[in-house]
């Protein structure tokens, strides 16, 4: 009886070795994917912070451009007064 069990165990062990190799390779690959996911999460957070900062800088630049344009338009137009209008029409 011991010989029969031993004869049965040899093929079972021979089949278990590739299964164990496949499972350990799968576990290693899944661990790599999980670790890459954590790295990507921190990279995504950094990227989102940079995008928000860039958006704020664009908004500030637009506000400054509008302010400068307002200043230039005020300086370019002389104030309208009654005497200035009379001089233009020669009256």
Q: Is the pTM of this model over 0.85?
A: no
The answer to whether residues 75 and 69 touch, using CB atoms and an 8 Å cutoff, is no
If one compares 31 and 76, the residue with the highest pLDDT of the two is 31
Rounded Cα gap, residues 45 and 75, in angstroms: 45
Eight-state DSSP code of residue 81: -
pLDDT of residue 13 exceeding 60, the answer is yes
23-67 residue pLDDT tens: 999 999 999 988 887 776 777 888 899 999 999 999 999 999 999
Q: Is the pLDDT of residue 1 over 60?
A: no
Task: Tell whether the model's pLDDT for residue 68 goes beyond 80.
Answer: yes
């Amino acid at each position: 009886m011991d010989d029969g069990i031993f004869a049965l165990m040899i093929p079972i062990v021979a089949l278990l070795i590739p299964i164990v190799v496949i499972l350990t390779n799968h576990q290693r690959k899944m661990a790599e994917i999980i670790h890459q996911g954590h790295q990507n999460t921190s990279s995504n957070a950094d990227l989102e912070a940079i995008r928000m900062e860039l958006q704020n800088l664009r908004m500030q630049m637009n506000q400054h451009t509008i302010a400068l344009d307002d200043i230039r338009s005020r300086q370019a137009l002389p104030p309208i007064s009654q005497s200035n209008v009379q001089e233009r029409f020669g009256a």
